Amino acid sequence: MKPKNNNNFINKIVKHSILKNPNRVIKTRFPPEPNGYLHIGHAKSICLNNNIANRYKGICNLRFDDTNPRNESTKYTLAIKKDIKWLGFNWYKQPTYTSNYFDQLYQYAIQLIKNKIAYVDELNANDIKKHRGTFKRPGKNSPFRNRTVEENLVLFKKMKNGIFPEGSMCLRAKIDMASPYIILRDPVLYRIIYSKHHHTKNKWCIYPMYDFAHCIVDALEGITHSLCTLEFLDNRKLYEWILKKLNLKKTPPKQYEFSKLNLEYTILSKRKIQKLIDHKLVSGWNDPRLHTLSGLRKKGYTKNSIKTFCKKIGITKQQNLIELSLLESCIRKDLNDSSPRRMAIINPIKLIITNIDHNYIEHLDVPNHPCKKDMGRRKILFSKEIYIEREDFCKKPITGYKGLILGKKVRLKYAYTIRANKIIKNKNNDILCILCTCYLNTKKKNIPLKNTYNIIHWLSKKNSTKTQFKLFDVLFTSKNPEKEKNIIQLYNPNSCIIKIGYTESVVAKEETQYIYQFERVGYFLKLKKKNRHNILVFHRIVSLKNKHRKPIQ
C-alpha cells in the first residue's frame, strides 16, 4: 500500500477553516472511555487528533469520557496516559474528565426540562426499545411524555437523590418519535446507576449518557473539530440538536467522522478483549498477542512502527479490513536498520562434522549488519558439533527445498560447505544427529560464484546459550473475527508456541541490546527477566517473511 498523503479530508477541512479565520485556535481532543487499555485503533485517533493540533499550532486535550462508572477505573486512566506518552504524544495541560462537568451537565438537563424538551420516563429499557420503532415503522410516544415541567423537575431531583431503583426511571429528550433518525426518537439523556465512580466516588447516582455529555463537554472545552469514528454519524444529529437547544456557543464544535481501523485476524473492541481476558485465553490487556498498545510494546513493537502504520492507512471514510502484513512490514522496516544480526536456532538438530577434531575451534569474523559497517563485527565459533534448524534438514529432496539434504551439500553461512552423510537415530527412531563432512577449502571468499549451494544458518555448540523462544501468531483463525458471533470458538490454539533452542552466547551478555534480527528467522526481543529455570527468553516480534495465512473456514 502506498503511504497516504498526509493531506487527508479532515486536514483539508481544518486548513479551510484556518483560511477563513486565521486567528482561530484549533482544538481537538482524544476522548477515551477508561474502561480498558488503548489499542492500535486508538493510536489512529491519537495520531490524527495530535497531528492536526500540532500542524496548526493548536491544542489537543486528553479527555476521559467517564460517564459509565460500572466498567471504568483509575487503573485504566493510568494505563491510557502511559500508552499515549509511549507513543510520543502529550496532552494540553492536565487531562480532563467528563465527570469534572457533572454539575454543569445536571444544570443543562434541568434547563431542557424547563424548556419542555426533556421528561422523566418510567418505561423500562425493554419498553423504551419497543416504543422506539424501526427504520420502517415510526416509534410510539411514551405515556409519560406529557408530564408537567414541575412534575419532571421533582422526579429528576428525586432520581438524583437516590429515591428510585436502577432502571426504573430515566430522563429523555423530547424530540420526535417519528423521526427518520432513530437516534432522535426521544433519546435517553440520564440514567440511574448505583456504582461508585472512580472519580466522583458516591456523589452521583444518575449519570449522563455519552451523547448528552460528549457534545456539551466538547463545547465547554472549546473544541473546534470533534473527530470520531463513523458509527457516530447519526449521533451528530442529536449532538447538533442539544447544542442548539442549549444555545451553548456562537460557533459550536463540529463533528467529523472517519472510518475505524479494522485489522485482519484481530479483535479491537474493548468489550471483546475483556471477554478473552475473562476466558483466560490471554494473560491480560498487555498480552503480546493482542493489538493493544501495551501488548504490541510487550511483544517488541516500536512506537515508530505504529505511527508509520497509522500514516500508511491514512484517514478516510472507507470501512475496510487492513491487512496484518501491512503492520508487519512497518515493524520490519523500522527494525531492519537498527537491529544487529545474530544467529539463533529455534528448533535444533545436531550436526557432527566427522572430519574435524573434537578440540578444533575456529573464530570467524562476521559483520553485525550486512549494510552498516558502523555496527561493527564479531567473532563466531566453528567447531565439531553444530546446531542447525530441524526444518533445514531433509532426508529426501523436495522441489524448491532450501536446506541440507542427505547426500547433498549446503553452505553454512559465513563458514564452509558441508555434506550430510548419515543420520544417527536412537532406539525410538528419533534423529540424534547427522554426520557430515566439511570442505575445509571452501571458506567464505574461496567459493566460486557458480558453485553456490543453499545457505543455512547454524550455531556451534561451543558458542550457544540455551534459550526459550515465544513464537506468537494470530489469536484467531478467522480473517475478520470482529464480525463473528462466537470469537471464543475462533481462538487459535497455536497463537503462542514455546520452543527451547539456542542463541549465540554473546547475546546473553549484551546488557543494553534487546532487539535482534536472528538471521533467516526474524526479529526478536530479549526479555529483561529470565524464566524460572534461569533461561534467557525471547519474544518473536515478527518473522522475516510474510506468512501466507489461510483462514480456517
Contacts of 532 (CB under 8 A, 6+ apart): none
Nearer Cβ to ligand ATP, position 35 or 517?
A: 35
Kindly state whether residue 31 participates in binding ligand ATP, applying the rule CB under 6 A. Answer: yes
Please name the residues in contact with 107: beta carbons below 8 A apart, sequence gap of 6 or more. Answer: none
Rounded Cα distance, 460 and 477, in Å: 37
Q: Out of ligand ATP, Mg ion, none, which partner does residue 350 contact, by CB within 5 to 8 A per kind?
A: none
Q: CB-wise, 45 or 503, nearer to Mg ion?
A: 45
Q: Give the other-Cβ count within 10 Å of 207's Cβ.
A: 24
* Residue among 186 and 218 whose Cβ is closer to ligand ATP: 218
Please tell me whether residue 295 binds ligand ATP under the rule CB under 6 A.
Answer: no
Element (H, E) at 393: strand 393-394
Binding status of residue 478 toward ligand ATP by CB under 6 A: no
Draw the binding track, 23-42, toward Mg ion (x: CB under 5 A; -: no contact).
----------x---------
Q: What distance in Å separates the CA atoms of residue 64 and residue 98, rounded to the nearest whole number?
A: 6
Query: Interface with ligand ATP includes 229 (CB under 6 A)?
Result: yes
Asked if 234 touches ligand ATP (CB under 6 A), the answer is: no
In the complex, least distance from residue 127 CB atom to ligand ATP, rounded to whole angstroms:
26
Using the minimum distance from each CB to Mg ion, give the nearer residue, 33 or 362: 33
Out of 159, 171, 246, 261, point to the residue binding ligand ATP (CB under 6 A). 261
Residue 303, binding choice from ligand ATP, Mg ion, none, Cβ under 5 to 8 Å by partner class: none
Report the 10 Å Cβ neighbour count for 362: 15
Q: Kindly state whether residue 208 participates in binding ligand ATP, applying the rule CB under 6 A.
A: no
Provide the residue type at 62 as one letter.
L
Size of the site for ligand ATP (CB under 6 A): 15
* Site for ligand ATP contains 481 (CB under 6 A): no
Residue 275 site contact among Mg ion, ligand ATP, none (CB < 5 to 8 Å, cut-off depends on kind): none
Least distance from ligand ATP to the Cβ atom of residue 309, Å: 12
Alpha carbons 378 and 363: distance in angstroms, whole number: 9
Rounded-to-integer distance, Cα 538 and Cα 138, Å: 59
Q: Which of 320, 321, 317 is nearest to 9 (CA)?
A: 317
Angle of the 303-313 helix axis to the 74-87 helix axis, nearest 10? 80
Cα separation of 94 and 98, whole Å? Answer: 13
CA 381 – CA 507 distance, rounded (Å): 14
Q: Which is nearer to ligand ATP, 79 or 356 (CB)?
A: 79
| Interface with Mg ion, residue 229, by CB under 5 A | no
Rounded distance between C-alpha atoms, residue 66 and residue 55, angstroms:
29
Where does this chain touch ligand ATP (CB under 6 A) — which range of 164-172, 212-220, 261-269, 352-360? 261-269
Judge contact between 382 and 418, C-beta under 8 A: no
The region of 31-39, 287-295, 307-315, 384-392 touching ligand ATP under the rule CB under 6 A is: 31-39
269 binds, among Mg ion, ligand ATP, none (CB under 5 to 8 A by kind): ligand ATP
Check binding of 8 to ligand ATP (CB under 6 A): no
Please report which residue ranges of 101-247 form alpha helices under DSSP H: 102-114, 125-132, 149-160, 210-220, 235-246
Min dist. Cβ of residue 461 to ligand ATP (A): 48
Nearest CB to ligand ATP, comparing residues 75 and 547: 75
Rounded to whole angstroms, how far apart are CA atoms 482 and 79? 24
**For Mg ion, which is the closer residue by CB, 33 or 473?**
33
**272/462 with CB nearer ligand ATP:** 272
Tell whether residue 270 is a contact of ligand ATP (CB under 6 A).
yes
CA angle centred on 97, ends 96 and 102, rounded to 5° = 130
Comparing CB distances to Mg ion, the nearer of 29 and 526 is 29
Question: In angstroms, rounded to a whole number, what is the distance separating the alpha carbons of residues 543 and 522?
Answer: 4
Binding of Mg ion at residue 323 (CB under 5 A)? no
Tell me the C-alpha distance between 151 and 57, whole Å. Answer: 49
Residue in 27, 44, 81, 411 binding ligand ATP, rule: CB under 6 A: 44
Whole-angstrom CA distances from 515 to 308, 352, 524 are 19, 31, 6
Q: Which residues bind Mg ion (CB under 5 A)?
A: 33
Q: Which residues bind ligand ATP (CB under 6 A)?
A: 31-33, 41-42, 44-45, 65, 228-229, 260-261, 268-270
